[in-house]
Amino acid sequence: MFTLFFRSVLVLTLLFGLLFGIGTAAIFYLDLPLVFAFFFAIGVIALQYALGPWILELIYKIQWKDMHSVDPVLAQFVDNACAAKGIPVPRFGLIDDGNPNAFTFGHYPGDARVVVTRGLIEKLSPEELQSVVAHELGHIAHWDFVVMTVAAIVPLLLYMLFMSLRFGGGRRRGRSGGTFAIIAIASYIAYILSHYIVLLLSRVREYYADQFAGEVTGNPEALSTALVKVAYGLATEAKGEKRDNVRMLAARTLGIFDPKSAQALALAGAATGTTSIQSMESAMKWDLWNPWGAIYELSSSHPLAAKRIRALERQTKSMGKVPRFSFRLEKPESYWDEFLVDLFANYLPLLGAVIGGLLAVQLAASGSVLAAAGAFLIVVSAAWWIKRWFSYNHNFEEQRTVANLVDEVKVSAVRSIPCTLEGEIIGRGVPGLFYSEDLVLQDHTGFITADYRQPIRFLEFLFGWTKADQLIGQRGKVMGWYRRAPRPYIEMRKIVLENGEVITSYLYPFQQFLVYLGLGLGALLFLGGFLSLL
């Protein structure tokens, strides 16, 4: 599961990746010079930079508002912060979705746009909301749109160099094959490294945006509690209060106490409007203790939430203040044994393909291609069956809550917890994206994404486009597998709504059918090949 900003970038990457792929194929088919390929790569990035904001506005349901009409206190804060830091006041957009999130985009500070969801305004206290918006202002102040666009050029150019050498650019110019191969390999390794360096740069800039928020608000801990609510899903809506008119937010924020924050966490106990130390510690355990956290972070544009909270704690100390929160729990055990088992299960199909391939080569050498193909299918399918047996348990009888699921450490994208959650569907997985198929379920302790999957991706798109909006506001039970990668989510098997309607994901049975088909077909081929040798 990704943040809204990361999913936005993913959408643009897919769109312009299609253009880049077709253009690259044309360049090498026409045997154009390498310099032309470089200019083409830079042109694609420039086009993405120029059209990106317009495309985002096109695909997201953003309502552009006067911030003063939505939240006067927030508007005054933004005006003051922008004046103090010498940046233009950004355009303000609202997405009518209960899933709390925020992001910013644009070309440069002068045309920057900050977008928040209704859920973010409803679920955060005024101080937390200001800290999240201040984080987005930090991206604007630091020119992150431009910096990350320029950084993205380097991996693309290295990839173009590799592709040129791969298709014989060096040989066509009379260079030796050895030199050609060394440069090609070095280019590809540099391309991979540069990709991770760009992600590292993105994570560093997230830390700087957090620091900017702490400086502007004078309260880094407000962003810490906001991160716990948004990143871990530990935020709920106060009972007995429904909000249909966003303008009502203005009246509430003028008060000293925000009743929506009273039940921000089931673990918080008292209606303080803030996040309890116990719940923050519970939420952070997975990030800090499970080895998968560090693995996932390497390929993420954002740091783990727990590490951001720790950095904010250090900032609080540097400001001469005593932090209200510091992670005090001691790790009760090593989680490397579970991690290694998960790792083995995750890559078991790949290992099966290697073993099956070696076995197939030996059988093919003995004269039976059918037996070789059958043996390969049997080994690979068996490896997939073992992984799926490890990853999927269909005992959904255990009733869980968001809060006690987030507390689990022994869970990953491979190791799941089968369970049932009951609550209300409050939004989409990607707020405002008209074809976002995932749903967000809220219970009395928090909210979590229900990952909707189908065998054919077009069916997911169709569900998101035509059906997802109709489910928002309905109550029901989600049955599926709780996972972390690194954000908490439920891989949905089905949702049973209170009105009796059932929403079913057919990906699991379809994949299971393919596994059994592979085993059966492999057995037939192997038997046929074996009999042909007799």
Mean pLDDT for back-to-back runs of 10 residues, the chain (534 residues): 46 48 51 64 76 83 92 95 95 93 90 93 93 95 87 79 65 55 78 86 93 95 91 65 36 28 26 60 91 92 92 94 85 94 96 95 87 94 97 94 93 96 94 90 92 94 94 96 93 96 96 96 90 70
- Encode pLDDT of 425-449 as tens digits: 999 998 888 889 999 999 998 999 9
User: What's the half-sphere exposure (Cβ side, CA atoms, 13 Å) at 451?
Assistant: 18
Nearest to 268 by CA among 236, 297, 316: 236
Give the position of tokens 């959408």.
11
Told to judge if 136 belongs to the known catalytic residues of this protein, a careful annotator would answer: yes
What radius of gyration do the chain's Cα atoms show?
26
Give the position of tokens 């990839």.
159
SS3 60: strand
| Cβ–Cβ under 8 Å, residues 441 and 477 | no
| Cβ–Cβ under 8 Å, residues 219 and 323 | no
Q: What is the 3-state secondary structure (H, E, C) of 250-289?
A: HHHHCCCCCHHHHHCCHHHCCCCCCCCHHHHHHHHHHHHH
User: Which residues, 6 or more positions from 471, have their beta carbon under 8 angstroms from its beta carbon?
Assistant: 425, 439, 495, 497, 503
SS3 297: helix
pLDDT of residue 155: 81
User: What's the half-sphere exposure (Cβ side, CA atoms, 13 Å) at 27?
Assistant: 22
Q: Which tokens sit at 326? A: 């510091």
| CA distances in angstroms from 262 to 24, 72, 125, 230, 444, listed in the order given | 55, 22, 9, 16, 12
User: What does the alpha-carbon distance between residue 56 and residue 34 come to, in Å, rounded to a whole number?
Assistant: 32
Residue 256: other Cβ atoms inside 10 A: 6
User: What does the alpha-carbon distance between residue 282 and residue 276 come to, in Å, rounded to a whole number?
Assistant: 10
| Cβ–Cβ under 8 Å, residues 353 and 380 | yes
Give the position of tokens 């590809």.
188
| Cβ–Cβ under 8 Å, residues 397 and 420 | yes
H/E segment holding residue 170: helix 169-172
Nearest to 69 by CA among 310, 336, 191, 247: 247
Q: Which tokens sit at 200? A: 């590292």
Q: Using the Cα atoms of residue 210, residue 216, residue 218 and residue 219 in order, give the sign of their dihedral.
A: negative
User: What does the alpha-carbon distance between residue 342 and residue 411 come to, in Å, rounded to a whole number?
Assistant: 9
Query: Which amino acid is present at 20?
Result: F
pLDDT of residue 180: 66
Q: Which tokens sit at 156? A: 């693309």
User: What's the half-sphere exposure (Cβ side, CA atoms, 13 Å) at 508?
Assistant: 18
User: What does the alpha-carbon distance between residue 34 and residue 317 come to, in Å, rounded to a whole number?
Assistant: 53
SS3 181: helix
- Encode pLDDT of 20-66 as tens digits: 554 555 455 545 566 666 776 777 777 777 877 888 888 888 999 99
What is the pTM assigned to this prediction? 0.81
Catalytic residue (one of 136, 424, 460, 491): 136
| Cβ–Cβ under 8 Å, residues 488 and 357 | no
Percent of the chain with pLDDT over 70: 82
Chain centroid offset of residue 454 CA: 19
Q: Which tokens sit at 302? A: 């954002």
SS3 137: helix
SS3 496: strand
| Cβ–Cβ under 8 Å, residues 228 and 309 | yes
pLDDT of residue 327: 85
- Encode pLDDT of 123-169 as tens digits: 999 999 999 999 999 999 999 988 888 888 778 777 777 777 666 55
What is the CATH T-level fold of the domain 402-500, as seen in this structure?
OB fold (Dihydrolipoamide Acetyltransferase, E2P) (2.40.50)
User: What does the alpha-carbon distance between residue 325 and residue 475 come to, in Å, rounded to a whole number?
Assistant: 35
User: What does the alpha-carbon distance between residue 45 and residue 145 come to, in Å, rounded to a whole number?
Assistant: 12
